[in-house]
Amino acid sequence: MIVIDHNSKTPVYEQIKVQILSLITSGALSPGDKLPSLRSLAADLSLNFNTIKKVFAQLEADGVIVTIQGKGCFVADTARDNPAVLDRAEAALREAVTVARASGVSRETAERILAEIFEEEK
């Protein structure tokens, strides 16, 4: 689910946050889905509990996740409308447009492909 690159210049907590946002953006995590517990995620990634706690606190402050006392952390119902998630989706689309342009794909073809992809996802 989440992979840490210890050789990256990006801080570990930022890598985790970006990957969780990507999982939501891609639909791998949907509103209402339960996230792993802080302790289990820290153990799985061999990280300090406080690092995971910091990520979850930021995501909660951003309104991406909600914590229900005694039950855990869940993807917020409004997570996909959240600016942080939308920014991540926009970045992915911008990257895709750059690749399409470099490949000589016209705007009309790109729009047709995008419409087809949206239809497939329904």
Supply the range of the domain harboring residue 55. Answer: 10-122
How many CB atoms within 10 Å of residue 13? Answer: 18
Number of compact structural domains in the chain: 1
In this structure, is residue 19 part of a structural domain?
A: yes
AA letter at 121:
E
Q: Kindly tell me the burial class for residue 97, based on how many C-beta atoms sit within 10 Å of its own C-beta (0-12, 13-18, 19 or more).
A: middle
Q: Please tell me whether residue 29 adopts helix, strand or coil conformation.
A: coil
29 phi, psi to nearest 5 deg: -120, 130
Query: What's the CA gap between 51 and 71, in Å, rounded?
Result: 20
Question: Which pLDDT belongs to residue 84?
Answer: 76
Q: How many CA atoms lie within 13 A of 89 on its CB side?
A: 13
Half-sphere exposure of 74 (CA within 13 A, CB side): 12
Q: What string of pLDDT tens digits covers the 122 residues of the chain?
A: 799 999 999 899 999 998 998 898 888 999 999 999 999 999 999 999 999 999 999 999 989 999 999 999 999 998 877 787 778 788 888 988 999 999 999 999 999 998 988 887 65
- The pLDDT value recorded for residue 118 is 82
Within a domain: 5: no
Instruction: Read off the CATH number of the domain in which 54 is found.
Output: 1.10.10.10
